[in-house]
Amino acid sequence: MQVRFLPSFPPIFFGLGAVGKIGEALATTNITKPLIITDKGLVEYGVLNHLTESIPSNIDFSVFDDIPENPTILGVENSLNAYRENGCNGIIALGGGSVLDSGKALRVITNQDGRLHLYLKDPSKITADVAPYITIPSTAGTGAEITWGGGIHPDVDTPAFGLRSPYLKPDIAICDPEITRTLPPKLTAATGMDAITHCVEGYLSNNHNPISEAVALDGIKRVISYIGRAFRNGDDMEARENMSMAAIQGGIAIEMGLGPIHALSMAFSDAPLHHGTLVTVSMPAVMRFYNGLKGDKLDKVAIAMGLPEGDNSGNRIAEKIEELNFEMSLPSTVRQMGYKKNDLGRMIEDASSSHFNLPAPKKPTKEDYKIIIEEVLG
C-alpha cells in the first residue's frame, strides 16, 4: 500500500464565545506580547474591541490595523515594522483572508530574513523558525484560519505569488461565530460562496483523502442549507455557526488541491477584485465544463446540494450556484464586478499556466479556457 501524507489542521477553539479562549491560546503558544494585525473596518465596527476585551489584563499587546483588502508585500512589511518597534513575540490575526494570509507571511519574516520576496519566489526556503501565530477569522469562507498556504500580491494590481509551507499552518485557530455577526450581507454572501468553491474543488481533485472528502461533502451541504439564512439575517447565530464550520471544512478541503475555478482567479488578479466574489462568478462555467467527468464525484456534489444525480450534473450544479448568486445580489460576470481589461490572450495564458490546474480531474486546454473565460467575463 502506498504511504501518503494526509494534511491535518491545527487545534481549533470553535463555537459562540470561543474568543474568550484567547488567554489560553496565548499561554499555549507562549506569546507574552502579541501584535494584533487587522483592518480598519474591523476597528470601526467594534470587532477589535470584542477581542481585546477578552485578552487577560496582564498581557500587553500592540495593534496594526492597516492590512489592505487584498494582501500585499507592503502591508506585510509595514506590519513587520510594528512588530519589531513594539518588541512583540507573537501574532494574532483578526480578519478575513487578506489579514490571515498576511499573518502567515509576517510570521516567516519576523524570525527569518525580512525580505518577503525571497520566500514568495521560493517557499522551500521557509524553515520551522517562525513566530507563534493565532488566527481569528472575522468572515466565514476563506478557511485561511487553518491552512498552510496563502497568496501575497506584490501590489494591488499584480497577480499574487503563492506562499505554501507546512510551517505556515497556524498554531491555534479561534473560530467564534459571534465575530462574524456584523459582517455585511454582501460579504456574508461572497465569503460564504468562497467556502463552497473550496469544498467542491477540493472534493473533485485528483488527490484522494477519504477523511477530507467526507468533510468537503458535509461543507457543501452546510453552505447550501445556511448561507441564505446568514445573508438575510446576520443575527441568525445558528446560520452563522454553520457557516463558520463550513469555512473550516473548506479549509480542510483546500489541502486536497483546488482547480480551474481558482486558476481563473489568477487570470483576473491584475485588478483589485474581491476573491470570494470572483470565484463564485467563475464557478458555473467550470461546472458546465466538467459535464461527463468520469466516476461519480460530480453526482455526489449534486446530491450534497440537494439536486438529482445523472447525466449533465455539472449543468444542475452551475444553475444552483447561479440561483444562489442571484438571490444574494452577487454579480453574474466579472464585467459586472468592474473588470475593464481586454487582453484575452494574457488571461488564457495566466489561467492555463496556473498551478491550480495540477490536481484538476479534467484540465482545460487553452481553447477550453478561451470558452470558459469569455463566459465568465460576460
Question: Which of 376, 176, 168, 192 lies closest to 286, judged by CA?
Answer: 376
2 inside domain: no
Domain that holds residue 31: 12-180
Of 158, 180, 202, which residue sits at a domain end? 180
CA atoms 13, 14, 15, 16: torsion sign: positive
Number of structural domains (the chain) is: 2
* 56 grid coordinates: 487577560
Average pLDDT over residues 131-150: 93
Nearest to 46 by CA among 68, 19, 21: 19
195 shares a domain with 59? no
Which residues 6+ apart lie within 8 Å of 33 measured at CB? 59, 60, 61, 62, 86, 87, 88, 89, 90
Contact 133, 171 (CB under 8 A): yes
Identify whether residues 119 and 238 lie together within a single domain: no
CATH of the domain at 42: 3.40.50.1970
pLDDT in tens, 75-96: 999 999 999 999 999 999 999 9
| 152 and 98, same domain (yes or no) | yes
Percent of the chain scored above 70 by pLDDT?
A: 97
The answer to whether 261 and 201 are in contact (CB under 8 A) is yes
- Residues ≥6 apart with Cβ < 8 Å to 141: 96, 97, 190, 191, 192, 193, 194, 195, 243, 247, 250, 276
- Residue at a domain's end among 146, 163, 180: 180
pLDDT at position 150 over 90: no
Question: Nearest Cα to 293, choosing from 353, 225, 364?
Answer: 364
Residue 4 lies in a domain: no
pLDDT value of residue 69 = 84
CATH code of the domain containing 356: 1.20.1090.10
Q: Is the same domain home to 161 and 190?
A: no
pLDDT in tens, 99-118: 999 999 999 999 877 688 88
The whole-angstrom separation of Cα 107 and Cα 77 is 11
Rounded-to-integer distance, Cα 170 and Cα 179, Å: 19
Q: Give the alpha-carbon dihedral of 8, 251, 51, 182, to 10 degrees.
A: -160
Q: How far is CA 47 from CA 89, 139, 158, in A?
A: 23, 11, 30
> Looking at the whole model, is its pTM more than 0.85?
yes
Tell me which of 25-29, 224-228, 267-271, 357-361 is least confident: 267-271
Selection from 64, 75, 68 nearest residue 274 by Cα = 68
pLDDT, tens digit, for every residue of 231-276? 999 999 999 999 999 999 999 999 899 999 999 988 887 777 888 8
In a domain, 3, yes or no: no
What are the phi and psi torsion angles at 60 (to 5°)?
Answer: -90, 130
Q: Give me the mean pLDDT over the 125-130 stretch.
A: 90
Residue 6 or residue 40, greater confidence: 40
Q: Answer whether residue 1 shows pLDDT above 50.
A: no
User: Does residue 142 contact residue 97 with C-beta atoms inside 8 Å?
Assistant: yes
Question: Does 363 fall in a domain?
Answer: yes
For residues 322-338, give the mean pLDDT: 95
Residue ending a domain, among 180, 196, 216, is 180
User: Coil, strand, or helix at residue 151?
Assistant: strand
